[in-house]
Structure 1
């Protein structure tokens, strides 16, 4: 919406003629309009503002790491997908009960770390749809639990990645666990 432009000289003269023919309903003084009157200043409404704290200075965003922690670089992923990696250590949980599989997994990772292994081939069996209420006895129970076991184990900080194994190493029935390089 634009500001009123005011009346031109012709419009002001015409208005004066019209206004002279009108009889006011209530007695009050009639203002006459001058040609091109100065527009009345428009005052802003008063707005009560709450005192605001100054915004904290913006910290520069850190550059994202080229390989975020827990992820492998492209070369590792390419070699894992192609099956070019030869695992340093193999752990077979296939056919065990959940308790025995968990114990073997934890001790096997500890042994692989002590040996300085970087890649573990973990044979779990193929994943099967398992009812969440009965993961203890049906087929596929170990595979359904492995990622949770790894995430909540004392070894989680030593694991760089978990990937599905190449077909020559077991495909869907096995996983690669890539351990972080040990410093020291």
Structure 2
């Protein structure tokens, strides 16, 4: 049998009695302890880009590419000239590869440059290899100075520059600057046409000191 009765509503007197009973009651502590809140996980800060770059191992610089000698560079440029145009190529050296140095008066140097000074000796390097010509030129300059000669003529030949030849003509001025013969020389100029033109050089030597 189902009880359909509604729950009884407490009277005012019953409510006052209940409040009196529970007024001094102490709640029973719960045995469960609340867990301390977890700290949020902190991701490590990303390393600054600048720091990583400083820590990186410095790159090793690559060695500089070797610089080709003037004769080699000129020969390389002339190889690019079309074959039908090579006959039109004309290479002229500067009128004074070395020029004069302090101690040579302008009048004397002008006579040398114009070929008006007597030639005391000459050497022909045409047909020699670079090694042979270099050795022969150094010996000739030293012997000429020791013999008291003032101006000598060095013949190199014009060479065929479009085919990469004529190296002696470009190398002689550099050889004449070297330590073994440079101090014996006062000036160097390209020869006049009657003495070989751009295939020869006038070389004015210092006076040999007596004693």
Q: Normalised by the shorter chain, which TM-score bucket?
A: 0.5 to 0.7
Distance, in Å, in 2 between the alignment partners of 1:142 and 1:71 is 28
TM-score by length of 1: 0.54
Q: Tell me which of 114, 119, 122 is aligned to 1:82.
A: 114
TM-score by length of 2: 0.48
Q: Which has the higher contact order (CA 8 A, sep 6+)?
A: 2
Q: What does residue 191 of structure 2 align with? A: 165
Distance, in Å, in 1 between the alignment partners of 2:104 and 2:142 is 21
Q: How does 1:55-74 map to 2 (within 5 A)?
A: 69-70=101-102, 72-74=104-106
Q: In structure 2, the residue corresponding to 1:151 is in which secondary structure?
A: coil
Distance, in Å, in 2 between the alignment partners of 1:71 and 1:127 is 34
Structure with more helix by fraction: 2
Q: In structure 1, the residue corresponding to 2:176 is in which secondary structure?
A: helix
Q: Deviation at 1:72?
A: 3.1
Q: What does residue 100 of structure 1 align with? A: 132
Q: In structure 2, the residue corresponding to 1:122 is in which secondary structure?
A: strand
Q: Deviations over 1:146-173 (max 9, x none)?
A: 1221212401111101111122111111
Q: Number of paired residues?
A: 111
Structure 1: 5+ residue stretches without partners? 1-67, 132-137
Q: Deviations over 1:43-65 (max 9, x none)?
A: xxxxxxxxxxxxxxxxxxxxxxx
Higher alpha-carbon Rg: 2
